[in-house]
């Protein structure tokens, strides 16, 4: 049975823990406020720790899910306890592999993982990148994040773009669902009903693409009858700049994240 340490068992750490626990992994969970992990301590195959160095002992893979401002202190704490064959995965946003290497050395297998908040419902789009020593371990780490959604390996230089598309992306899609709900209310539905209808329709659209592998336009063609109401609505949305606004929003967000990285 593989042992996975999760240092920083907060929102993200426990979402990962839930998926891994259901898939039979042995877990070492750590955080400073140990009473918050009391229910986890009762579960089989779970050990909880307040000392990070003890938590990493015997772990095959160490996932670090603390806030970026705590990362350096945590890495200093576990550095001596780590062995060269242990894989360290950081989820800290904006914290590059070069900085991780400068703290743990380039011999340590290191990966960055960028999930999104849908990880709490096992529907994350998680991107991974690895340093040279981490390359042989990519499949093992991918297996972990596949327990809580879909996983893609990307070049580290694309990590900022992936953060915009997938992590910020959650907010962008939620805003579209809200807009659809507002339209539903204007057409006469109660807001709760309109929200349910808009949400399930968005889910259905995504499922259609995921299941069929089709391009969105192929599925749009199936809904748009010539001279019909769907194409009329779509064209008005496009005249108002829907696709363009979305693309401009994404690129503005990308410029911002790159600016923030330089600071
Ligand atoms: N939430 C997401 O969906 C998401 C998505 C992408 C990336 N991320 C990244 O993932 C990281 C965690 O995010 P989060 O939302 O899960 O934050 P969070 O809920 O604040 O969790 C962080 C946890 O770290 C613990 N912690 C702090 N210092 C520690 C230390 N010295 N040793 C051990 N544990 C320590 C905290 O618990 P104590 O105070 O009890 O120690 C806290 O529960 C961040 O770097 C974030 O950028 C999160």
Residues 46, 81 within the same domain = yes
Residues 173, 247 within the same domain = yes
Residue 58 lies in a domain: yes
- Ligand 1 contacts CB of residue 12 (under 6 A): yes
Can you say whether residue 66 is alpha, beta or left, with left for phi > 0 and alpha for psi between -120 and 50 degrees? beta
Residues 201, 251 within the same domain = yes
What is the pLDDT averaged over residues 119-142?
Answer: 97
Please, which pLDDT band fits residue 1 given cuts at 50, 70 and 90?
confident
Please, which pLDDT band fits residue 149 given cuts at 50, 70 and 90?
very high
- Ligand 1 contacts CB of residue 30 (under 6 A): yes
Segment 183-223, tens digit of pLDDT: 999 999 999 999 999 999 999 999 999 999 999 999 999 99
What confidence score (pLDDT) does residue 4 get?
97
What confidence score (pLDDT) does residue 130 get?
98
Write out the DSSP string of 183-199: HHHHTT--HHHHHHHHH
**What is the sign of the dihedral through the CA atoms of 80, 20, 145 and 176?**
negative
Residue 120 lies in a domain: no
Q: Per the structure block, which two tokens stand in for 234? A: 């779509």
Which of 122, 154, 186 corresponds to the end of one domain? 154
For 197, the domain range is: 163-262
What is the pLDDT averaged over residues 133-148?
Answer: 97
- Ligand 1 contacts CB of residue 117 (under 6 A): yes
- Ligand 1 contacts CB of residue 99 (under 6 A): no
CATH number for 167: 1.10.3730.10
Residues 191, 224 within the same domain = yes
- Residue 160 CA to ligand 1 center (angstroms) comes to 19
Helix, strand, or coil here: 81? coil
Distance CA 29, CA 52 (A): 9
| Cα dihedral 89, 93, 94, 97 in deg (nearest 10) | 0
Residues 59, 138 within the same domain = yes
- Residue 110 CA to ligand 1 center (angstroms) comes to 18
Residue 121 lies in a domain: no
What confidence score (pLDDT) does residue 191 get?
98
Mean pLDDT taken over the chain: 96
Residues 101, 209 within the same domain = no
What confidence score (pLDDT) does residue 93 get?
87
Q: Ligand 1, residues 8, 17, 128, 257: which to mutate, most atoms within 8 A of Cβ?
A: 8
Higher pLDDT, 263 or 247: 247
What confidence score (pLDDT) does residue 161 get?
96
- Ligand 1 contacts CB of residue 66 (under 6 A): yes
Distance CA 38, CA 237 (A): 51
């Amino acid at each position: 049975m593989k042992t996975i340490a999760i240092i920083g068992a907060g929102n993200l750490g426990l979402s990962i823990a839930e998926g891994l626990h259901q898939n039979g992994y042995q877990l070492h969970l750590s955080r400073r406020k140990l009473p918050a992990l009391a229910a986890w301590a009762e579960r089989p195959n779970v050990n909880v720790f307040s000392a990070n160095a003890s938590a990493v002992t015997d772990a095959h893979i160490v996932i670090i899910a603390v806030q970026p401002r705590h990362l350096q202190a945590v890495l200093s704490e576990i550095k001596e306890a780590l062995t060269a064959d242990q894989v360290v995965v950081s989820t800290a946003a904006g914290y590059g592999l070069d900085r991780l290497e400068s703290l743990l050395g380039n011999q340590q297998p290191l990966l960055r993982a960028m999930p999104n908040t849908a990880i709490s419902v096992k529907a994350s789009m998680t991107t991974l990148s690895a340093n040279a020593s981490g390359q042989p371990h990519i499949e093992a780490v991918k297996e972990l994040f596949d327990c809580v959604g879909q996983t893609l390996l990307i070049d580290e230089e694309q990590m900022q773009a992936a953060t915009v598309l997938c992590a910020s992306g959650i907010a962008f899609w939620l805003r579209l669902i809200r807009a659809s709900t507002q339209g539903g209310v204007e057409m006469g539905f109660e807001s709760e009903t309109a929200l349910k209808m808009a949400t399930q329709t968005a889910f259905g659209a995504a499922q259609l693409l995921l299941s069929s592998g089709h391009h969105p336009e192929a599925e749009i063609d199936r809904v748009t009858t010539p001279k019909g109401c769907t194409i009329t609505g779509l064209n008005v949305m496009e005249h108002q700049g829907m696709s363009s606004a979305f693309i401009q929003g994404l690129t503005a967000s990308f410029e911002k994240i790159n600016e923030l990285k330089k600071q």
